[in-house]
Structure 1
Amino acid sequence: MKHKFTKYLGRVTENLELDFEEKWIYVHYTIGSSEKTACLLKNENKSEIEYLDSFFEENKVSEEMQNEVKKFLINEKNRNETHWNEFTTFLMKTLSLNMVFGIAIALSVYGGFRLGSFLDNRFELYPTFTLIGTFLGIGIGGLTVYSMVQKYFKSPKQEERKNKDPLRMDLTDNKNHPIIDVSIEEVRKAVRSFSDNLPKGVFRTILVQEDNSIDFKQLAPLLGGIPSKKFYMSKETYDLFEDGEKQIPIEMDIVQKAVDLYVKEQKEYPMLKFDPQRRVNYYQLLQEHYLKAAPETQFYITDLDGLITHIKPQKKNSSLS
């Protein structure tokens, strides 16, 4: 089988063509206007690379070309060994399971036949139940063999897909990073640093999982490991919370969306006009169906473009008119 290799060395093109036979290696080499051809006899117990080394040295083949050819030959050798191992494994499975398949089918057919015969003798309908039982046994035996084949004879691609399962990869990734103790302030700094390096149009919410917990596999390089405890983030305000406050970001996202929609449609904040603490008025949001239920946490409207917070204001602020 022929294999061609090409390298571009500035303005000069280097080509190498190899054809491997059982006892011969055909080599055709060109570089610029120079051309060399050789037939290497494989009469010694040497590898193909060792046979080619003398040709490479004699004709001053470039180091880049030599490396590419050697890499190709090593990969071919590994591939052949893999195929042989797969074949021998398949053969061993076939030989060992062949008897099991036969027994499974035989027992299924025999069981169906005996059950059918028993029913025919009891109800005097021979050979109705005998035939039904026999065919049923054949079907059950076939299904049994099929399920065993699916379980024990998996193709390399199936094994590869199994090895690339996201959950397995996640667990493997976690093992690459140590478990560390971090403060919420350290997490906040890591999130900001991560966000600063994101492409335009991509937001830090890619760190937030379905339950509002932070995916620390992406932050591990910045933190130096995976935190020993969970932290949570609001997708709407980006506020961070520890494990004891994990319900707050979920409610915060719901309320923030309701407040934003209310302001967009009503042109005012959902709060009492003379409330110095600027508490979100859940009654207004419930009445206008912006909320389905009142959250347990009391939120407050800040001066930052209508963002809400769960922290009670320390100073009294005048309401927006």
Structure 2
Amino acid sequence: MAEQLITLDEFWSLRDQFPVIDARSEKEFDQSHIPGSINIPILNNTERIQVGTLYKERGPEEATIKGFELVGPRFHLIIKDTVKHFPEKKVIIYCWRGGMRSHILAWLLTMVGFDIFRLKGGYKTYRTYSFDLVRKDWNLIVLGGKTGTGKTRLLKKLQETGEQIIDLEGLANHKGSSFGAIGQPAQPSVEQFENEFAETLHKLDPKKSSWVENESRKIGRLILPDNFYHQMLASPLIDIYRTEQERINLIVEEYAGLPSDELILAVLRIKKRLGGLRTSEAIQAIVEGNHEAWISNMLVYYDKAYNFDLDKHESGKTIQLDLSGIDEETSTKKLLEAKSQFHGKHTDSTD
């Protein structure tokens, strides 16, 4: 069979048809990779360091020979593993720059009948694209509201109507507060977050508006790209309101079933800002299983923080929308009506 070099533009059209293999080392892959790719390293972490050091000290020829010396005995294992995972024998391959490692893997696999599409420029080309994309200008509409107003749920409802959304908290594996990591997968690296972010943006029509939840610059340990964050501050904001009891009920629904020890640790992380008395009261309520009490306690702090962040938004671009006592379906319709005040009449995606 054959190997074919493909551009990044061709990659986007082919990736839905064929699986993607990352031929870099495990550490490189763990740090960041093209989302959805599977790691089959030609050189493992230790071997990559050895070859890289030799390349710098003695040049490419000796480094290449050393690379074959290290990986050669494993060629049969690499082939067996790849055939096991991809019996249809059609794959896309990349390494760091689209050079030796992906070329070697492609050579190996074509010998056993694979059709190979090798990404020209490798991961570096993809990463340059994703880095630039998350820093471009986007037509945003920001969904704001205090903790517990159900913003993420409404984003999903908006998406069901055909609206474009950017779920930053979903991409970051974090709900944006001291409690935000509980029950979530580990957060990605900053680079991988930007890759996942770019994957979302790549699917959007930049001429249309995209909904995004109001966030601070930092989501857990991840920081939003400066340009995107400043775009959020300057974009139209729909600030939704629900009663405190509605908000408490929603938070109870999401957090009451989580481990109490993790909830207590989350309270302790913001102890300095809560103060000793409020911290003690919240912890006692968690221990007693009185979820309404500790949540009500926390809302005093988070409401103040939200009002502080709200003041950062550009004046004259905010609509206040009361959704008290309204179901999600009706709330979504009201959001679309509010959007029309900024972006003209809403038309259904099926029109």
Q: Please tell me the TM-score bracket, short chain as reference.
A: under 0.3
TM-score (norm 1): 0.24
Which of structures 1 and 2 has the larger relative contact order (alpha carbons within 8 angstroms, sep 6+)? 2
Q: Give 1 or 2 for the bigger CA radius of gyration.
A: 1
TM-score (norm 2): 0.23
